[in-house]
């Protein structure tokens, strides 16, 4: 029987890119995709002939539980939605073989809200090998932590095979049927509207990064391991994996954006300003986290299993982003 895959977030930036790669990699699978509107359903169906859109919200219990129960594997790219994840897990757990959940989370759990040290580089780089037990034991004040732990515990509590892929900053243009832009595109538009580039405080904060296509490839890589019942893929409390290519400071990103915008004739000058957190917050209410925080991870486990990112030039990805952002 063909594998039955249910994907959430299919019209999002990463979810759409993932669905695109899934259909190319596993063309014989049977896909259902959760979308919010009929217009999105038509876009997904037009782009992917083998995908059946399901119109609903991730919090819709009947819709999501039934779709998960009908699937062998659920790929959840809808973000942190506690109700939605509960519905997915309930649907999978209702099956005789329980099924598998691959949930995409994020590395902002690595930021200590009591000491964010905005504008400066975090001194610690977390590894999903040596630091995994600490990461999955963070307290509930950390972003993602409580929900991540709930997903991981579901393997022991409900019998569902659960994996978390924790992504870093994602770069580049998406390839999905609907949304193709991200955090980076928003930064470009903010700089263009402001007329000058900027950093928060010193701008020394560092983020791990990965291209959107490589994050999608990591999801597909893990899916292939799950389908093959590969012994090197762990689940539950052992099933936490970072996805990451390299590191870049926000100052480097900000300068790259300003320089490219100047080349395109969208800025008159490319020197960048150092903004205080209150000044940056006037541009975006979450400026501290978006542009001032530092988050550093290392995807040691996936690399050890054989996954390798293909796009290793962050500046090329940023240039791609700038061109797309100013074209819209």
**Which tokens is 59 given?**
């919090």
pLDDT per residue as tens digits for the range 261-294? 999 999 999 999 999 999 999 999 999 889 999 9
For 110-133, what is the mean pLDDT?
96
Q: Is 110 exposed, middle or buried (0-12, 13-18, 19+ CB in 10 A)?
A: buried
Q: To the nearest whole percent, how much of the chain has pLDDT over 90?
A: 98
Instruction: Say whether pLDDT at 51 is over 90.
Output: yes
Q: What are phi and psi of 6, to 5 degrees?
A: -110, 125
Residue 86 lies in a domain: yes
Residue 168 lies in a domain: yes
DSSP letters spanning 51-117: EEEEES-TT-HHHHHHHHHT-SEEEE-S-S-HHHHHHHHHHHHTSTT--EEEEEEEGGGGS-TT---
Distance in angstroms (rounded) separating the CA atoms of residues 66 and 150: 21
In this structure, are residues 268 and 262 in contact, taking their beta carbons and an 8 Å threshold?
yes
Residue 177's Cβ-side half-sphere holds a number of Cα atoms within 13 Å equal to: 22
* Structural domain boundaries, residue 88: 4-112+125-172+208-244
Element (H, E) at 81: none
Could you give the number of structural domains in the chain?
1
Residue 232 lies in a domain: yes
Q: How far apart are the first and last CA of the chain?
A: 43
Distance in angstroms (rounded) separating the CA atoms of residues 39 and 161: 33
**Which tokens is 216 given?**
């999608």
For 240-249, what is the mean pLDDT?
98
Q: Is 232 exposed, middle or buried (0-12, 13-18, 19+ CB in 10 A)?
A: exposed
Query: CB neighbours of 28 closer than 8 A, spacing ≥ 6?
Result: 2, 3
Residue 58's Cβ-side half-sphere holds a number of Cα atoms within 13 Å equal to: 21
Name the pLDDT band for 1 (thresholds 50, 70, 90). confident
Considering the chain, what is the average pLDDT of its residues?
97
Instruction: Say whether pLDDT at 301 is over 90.
Output: yes
Residue 205's Cβ-side half-sphere holds a number of Cα atoms within 13 Å equal to: 25
For 24-29, what is the mean pLDDT?
97
CA distances from 194 to 202, 206, 273 (A): 19, 23, 11
Residue 44 lies in a domain: yes
Residue 26 lies in a domain: yes
DSSP state of 5: E
pLDDT at 181: 94
pLDDT at 264: 98
User: Helix crossing, 13-25 with 212-227: angle to 10°?
Assistant: 50
Residue 261 lies in a domain: no
Residue 95 lies in a domain: yes
For 297-314, what is the mean pLDDT?
98
For 14-30, what is the mean pLDDT?
97
pLDDT at 328: 78
- In degrees, to the nearest 5, what angle opens at C-alpha 279 toward C-alphas 274 and 281? 120
Q: To the nearest whole percent, how much of the chain has pLDDT over 70?
A: 100
Name the pLDDT band for 246 (thresholds 50, 70, 90). very high
Residue 319 lies in a domain: no
Beta bridge partners of 51: 31
pLDDT per residue as tens digits for the range 186-225? 999 999 999 999 999 999 999 999 999 999 999 999 999 9
pLDDT per residue as tens digits for the range 128-167? 999 999 999 999 999 999 999 999 999 999 999 999 999 9
CATH code of the domain covering residue 93: 3.40.50.720
Q: Is the pTM of this model over 0.85?
A: yes
Q: How many CB atoms lie within 10 A of CB 180?
A: 18
């Amino acid at each position: 029987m063909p594998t039955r895959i249910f994907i959430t977030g299919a019209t999002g930036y990463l979810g759409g890119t993932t669905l695109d790669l899934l259909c190319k990699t596993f063309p014989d699978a049977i896909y259902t995709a959760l979308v919010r509107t009929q217009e999105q359903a038509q876009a997904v169906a037009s782009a992917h002939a083998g995908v059946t859109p399901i119109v609903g919200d991730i919090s819709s219990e009947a819709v999501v539980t039934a779709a998960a129960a009908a699937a062998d594997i659920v790929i959840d790219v809808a973000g942190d939605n506690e109700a939605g994840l509960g519905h997915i897990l309930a649907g999978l757990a209702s099956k005789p073989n329980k099924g598998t959940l691959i949930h995409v989370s994020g590395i902002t759990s690595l930021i200590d809200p009591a000491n964010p040290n905005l504008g400066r580089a975090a001194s610690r780089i977390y590894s999903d090998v040596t630091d995994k037990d600490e990461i999955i034991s963070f307290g509930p004040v950390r972003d993602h932590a409580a929900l991540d732990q709930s997903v991981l515990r579901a393997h022991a509590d409900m019998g569902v095979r659960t994996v978390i892929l924790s992504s870093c900053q994602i770069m580049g243009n998406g390839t999905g049927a609907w949304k193709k832009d991200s955090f980076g595109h928003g930064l470009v538009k903010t700089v263009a509207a402001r007329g000058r580039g900027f950093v928060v405080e010193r701008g020394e904060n560092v983020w791990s990064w990965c291209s959107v296509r490589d994050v999608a490839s990591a999801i597909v890589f893990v899916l292939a391991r799950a389908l093959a019942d590969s012994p090197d893929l762990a689940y539950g409390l052992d099933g936490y994996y970072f996805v990451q290519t390299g590191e870049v400071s926000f100052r480097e990103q900000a300068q790259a954006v300003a320089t490219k915008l100047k080349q395109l004739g969208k800025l008159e000058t490319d020197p960048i300003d150092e903004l205080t957190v209150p000044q940056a917050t006037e541009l975006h209410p979450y400026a501290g986290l978006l542009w001032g925080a530092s988050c550093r991870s290392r995807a040691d486990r996936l690399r050890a299993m054989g996954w390798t990112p293909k796009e290793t030039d962050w500046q090329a990805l940023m240039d791609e982003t700038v061109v797309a952002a100013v074209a819209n």
